A and B are shown apart, each in its own frame.
Chain A
Amino acid sequence: MISVYKKLLAYVPEKKFLAFAAIFLSCASAFAVVSSYYVLYLFLQQLLRRGMPLQLGYAKVFAVLQALAVLLYFASAWLSHLLGFRLETNLRKRGIAQLSQADFAFYDTHPSGLVRKLIDDNASQTHQIVAHLIPDQAEALLAPVLVLILSFFIKWYLGVFMLLLSLLTLILYKMMVGEQEFIKEYSRLMEEMSAEMVEYIRGIPVVKIFGTGPGAFKRLYEAIRAYAKAVFNYSLSCRKAFVSFQLVFMAIPAIAIPCMLPFTERLSREDLIVFLIMAFFLTGTLFSSLMKVMYVGMYAKQGEMAVDKLEELFEETAQRRLEFGDETEFANYQIDFEGVSFAYEDENVLEDLSFTLPPGRSYALAGPSGGGKSTIAKLLSGFYQVQSGTIKIGQKPITAYSEQALLDTISFVFQDVRLFKISLYDNVALAKPEASYEEVMTALSQARCDDILDKFPERENTIIGSKGVYLSGGEVQRIAIARALLKDAPIVVFDEATAALDADNEFALQQAFAELMKDKTVIMIAHRLSAIRNLDEILVIDKGKVLERGSDEQLMAYPSLYRQLQINYHLANDWEVQYA
């Protein structure tokens, strides 16, 4: 229990005092409540001592104490809400900060929607838990103890009765919660069912189209039935204990009266009645406290799970924290891979890969998809952690350079470019904030973006993402090339589009990139193999290895893999729909 608090409060150091204040207030509230019960006892005594003049003082004190208890409880709840809100905000902020540190492999393997949901949902859950946990927990734990003390204080036999009752309910409660084993089994079945349901729902369109589902759906029905059976059995197994538990509290006089029957002669009638009424009254408090303990336990567990999930994410991002050095000068732009290994999670992409790319030349990476071409390009950015080996630029490891120096030196134009929801102009100008208007417009024009501007009345001031502004993949990539042109970095990495570009776009894109290549060290991930024949060197990559390298002329001169790729490419390209 304490560990949960510790974990949560670590994220709100500036508001820790709120937690203590809230605990204090809620304890004070429990005190007020229980002392009001003592006043009630005094009042009952007075009421039953017939013949004595009845004073209203006790009733008034009782009212005041009860109202005070509510006030204190609310004050405690309010403070813990404030704490909860801050906790939520801080967890989100922390999430953002952590994410900004992660390397790019993290983003490659974690869908953005899931990451956002994980942070959003769990942060908001912790707020709810803290807001309700603190006041209820302090009260739920303290109140039963105070009630027992009060019972003993009033009459020893009331104390004994309440104590026995508490023990009985604890036993019933234990029986009710059931075995740990079952809970595990239950959550396993539940997860299984949920997974099957997700798969099923995703498959519904297919099922509709084919008119029937595959055998896999039998498994969904089985999973649902297994789950339903398990909860039903659980529910059956708890019944006796839960029913008895309720019975004890609801029918307390029917238990208390028989207990007192042997002592009717020894006790005064007044004491007898006071005992019964107080027992009736105090068990109610005991009951609601126990119920609260149950809920609180559940909340605490959820809170812990929420924080654990977040911390897992934080941990993961922290492990992927990138290192940068403080070198700012590059001796030259030669690129070396020295024994580089890289894996996504447990999937090896590159293994002990070494090669050198002398500066000032253009290179094409060719080979089947999944062979490691894109990975090589991505690793150059310095935003990935390699498992082993060194990547060097200008004979120094890329980790030796400052982040800014690396960013200034390499331009990337990848396929999945996303534009910011700002104006087209600003999207380009980002690459060089000090650029003049003319520079930006020249870059746009060189990147063959004029026809894109022509599409919109606002031209370069068109806001991306606003109504009716649609850019195709090829158009977005051209704008990315405009950025790179403006940035004018000495090394350019380009991932040629494979996606369904219409011919119009593709040609424009090719021209734009040809513009960008001028006087640079170029690394291109090639898909249109016909276009790379004039590049200085071609590296054929498959299974994370450089299998062949050389100019087009050299590689075409013998039965190389490259030659086979080129032949296949032309066959595929010349394919035509044929029919009988």
Chain B
Amino acid sequence: MHRLYKEKLGLTDEGAKGLVKSTWASFAVHLFNFLPAFLLLYFIDVALNASAIPKIGFLAASLLLLLLFYFVLNKEYILMYDETYKEAANLRIELIEEMTKLPLAYFSKHDISDLAQTFIADIFALEHALSHSIGKLVSFFMAFVLISIMLLAGNWKLALCIIAPTLIYLGMVLLSRKIQLRKYEHYYAQLRENSEAFQEAIEHSQDIKSFRLQNQIYGTLNKKMEQTEKIHIDSERASLIPMLLGGIMQNLSLAAVILAGSTLMLRGDISLLYVLAYILAAIKMKDGIAVMAGNITELYYLSPMVKRIKEIREAKTQEGSKKAFSRFDIRLESIDFSYDEDTPVLKNCSFAAEQGKVTALAGKSGCGKTSVMRLISRLYDPDRGRIFIGDVDTRTADVTSLHRNISMVFQDVTLFNTTVMENIRLGRPEASDEEVKEAARLANCDEFIRKMPQGYRTFIGENGAKLSGGERQRLSIARAFLKDAPILLLDEITAALDVDNERKIQYSLNRLIKGKTVIIISHRIKSVKNADHIVVLDEGRVIAEGRHDFLIETCDLYRDLTEKSDLAENFVY
């Protein structure tokens, strides 16, 4: 059972152990549940046949039963709820720690806030199921088998009156779920399509208005919704009939016992007590099943969630061991790469960036420049080919030791809801406050930080919501100053900034890149023409490399880009 829980539910060792315990406790409760019926039967037997009822005896027996039952229920409660909720913290912390082991590509491929929301919802659902349904359900089936055997041993005909409808009911529930799942595929496909259309309509809302397409677009959407309703009704109807049959069967079990029991009694096959006993058993079984139906439904909803949690646990972590880097040349060897299989982004891409020198990537938009940066930092891994830093194949190095040597300043900066100080300190956690401030000065941040209400101690809001684009960018440069890593990757870091901010960043950049291996992408060709080495990419291939003067002479694309750049610069409306 332990292994089953672990495999099916994606639980930890601890979690599965706890669930096994609570399952056994529930099992005991299910069995205890039949004891009061025995007491009642014994009382009836005495009442029917004896002249006097032993009051003290029954009182004592009742009290003892209540006491014992209380004890068992209490134990079950402790194991089921208290234990689950005691584990609530561990379960979350454990899963969160699993998440940090996921490859970086996982985060690049999924929408992160969506991922987080789903993850949270999944844990709540799993927690609820763990405390409320799973143990109860499993133990119910165990108890069901045991009780069925006992019932069959008593009188198999009456026993069948109880067992058969229950089995049919359960079968019908399963059947209807199966039908539902199959039918629902169609329905969910339609829902997805609707969602996409809906999303697109919202995104386009301004254009829709500007071109007066409301009637057309919203009309189509409305039609889609209506169609979906029809499909939904169809799929629900298909599962309705087995549910209905099952429900009737279940309700008929008591009637069947009554009919069969009285017939058998009339024939003199069984005594009155027998009839009553099976009636009581049928009542108990019916009440029990009614509770279980809800639990079964919960489990059905749970399976996709468990699947997602398992996916996180089992996602391939990026391999690699701790590596010491001594040289910081970067070398790409025959790299092939694509985000999805259909559209290759890099094709047989090779070049080298020398230690301590500035290498610039040039090319039209969409040529693969940014992907190169992502591959060097292992935000993604290439489909083919190898990337070396010094003589270490980056694939053999773990992400942490790799990143100890790389600073990245990209267009989007992730900030945390903590103080400015801590956000910069991320660059080097052991840095002193003074060192953080020094880095901020070098990155031209000092001025705006001092203007903030609490200076370096100011909280900057969720993902730094209170900061402008330029300020964010400068903070990320401060991080890079603090980290002082030998390799620096700069991707279009001033593209979306206004002139003032751009100037400030440029000042600090020239300080930052001193003595480092730098790879830079800039939309202004001019700004990188002094680079030691320029690599020209076109449609994912390296078509030329060298210094500016050489490329101007030899590479048509580069020359064209430079010329157009000049034209755009000197353009006057």
Contacts and interface: CB of A to CB of B under 8 A. Distances in A.
Interface residues of chain A: helix, strand, loop or mixed (majority) = helix
Contacts of B571: 507, 510-511, 528, 530-531
Contacts of A502: 363-365, 523, 561
Contacts of A319: none
Interface in B75-127: 77-78, 81-82, 85-86, 88-89, 92-93, 96, 99-100, 102, 104, 107-108, 111-117, 119-120
A381 to B, nearest CB: 8
Interface string B50-92: 0001010011011101100110011001100110011011001
Given A502-B523, A505-B365, A383 B206 contact: yes
B462 A199 contact: yes
Contact of B266 (A54, A200, A229, A368): A54
Interface string B28-53: 01001101110110011001100001
A211 B403 contact: yes
Contacts of A277: 40, 44, 276, 279-280
Contact of A208 (B104, B236, B363, B411): B104
A59 B255 contact: yes
Contacts of A59: 255, 258-259, 262
A120 B276 contact: no
Contacts, number: 451
A261 B226 CA distance: 64
Nearest to B260: A59
B571 to A, nearest CB: 5
A520 B35 CA distance: 92
Contact of A250 (B32, B468, B524): B32
Contacts of B403: 208-211
A579 B418 contact: no
A48 interface: yes
Residue from the set A40, A255, A575 with the largest chain B CB neighbour count within 10 Å: A575
B394 interface: no
B551 interface: no
A1 interface: no
Contacts of B66: 247, 251, 254-255
B59 A258 contact: yes
B498 A368 contact: yes
A233 to B, nearest CB: 9
B365 A239 contact: no
B40 A257 contact: yes
Contacts of B483: 210
Contacts of B527: 575-577
Interface stretch (B4-12, B211-219, B302-310): B211-219
A517 interface: yes
Contact of B499 (A56, A513, A514, A572): A572
Contacts of A198: 113, 116-117, 120
B400 A208 contact: yes
Nearest to B231: A85
A62 to B, nearest CB: 5
A60 B571 CA distance: 96
Contacts of A473: 365
Contacts of B299: none
B104 A205 contact: yes
Contacts of B47: 269, 272-273
Interface string A287-311: 1100100010000000000000000
A104 B369 CA distance: 35
B1 interface: no
A260 to B, nearest CB: 9
B243 interface: yes
Of the four ranges (under 10, 10 to 19, 20 to 34, 35 or more), the interface on chain A belongs to 35 or more
Interface string B511-533: 00111001010011111111100
Interface stretch (A3-11, A92-100, A390-398, A437-445): A92-100
B414 A579 contact: no
Contacts of B2: none
B113 A202 contact: yes
A141 interface: no
B573 A231 contact: no
B259 A383 contact: no
B365 A500 contact: yes
A546 interface: no
B203 interface: yes
A228 B272 contact: no
A63 B243 contact: no
A481 to B, nearest CB: 13
A239 B82 contact: yes
A578 interface: yes
B280 to A, nearest CB: 7
Interface string A11-46: 000000000000000000000000000001001000
Contacts of B200: 421
A531 B572 contact: yes
B388 interface: no
Nearest to B404: A211
B48 to A, nearest CB: 7
11 contacts: A85-B236, A104-B206, A104-B209, A204-B107, A250-B32, A277-B40, A281-B283, A510-B568, A572-B502, A573-B569, A576-B527
The 9 A-B pairs at the shortest CB distance, nearest first, are namely A63-B255, A228-B89, A503-B565, A500-B495, A253-B40, A201-B116, A216-B418, A228-B88, A503-B564
Given A204-B100, A474-B365, 5 more contacts: A59-B255, A113-B199, A503-B523, A507-B564, A507-B568
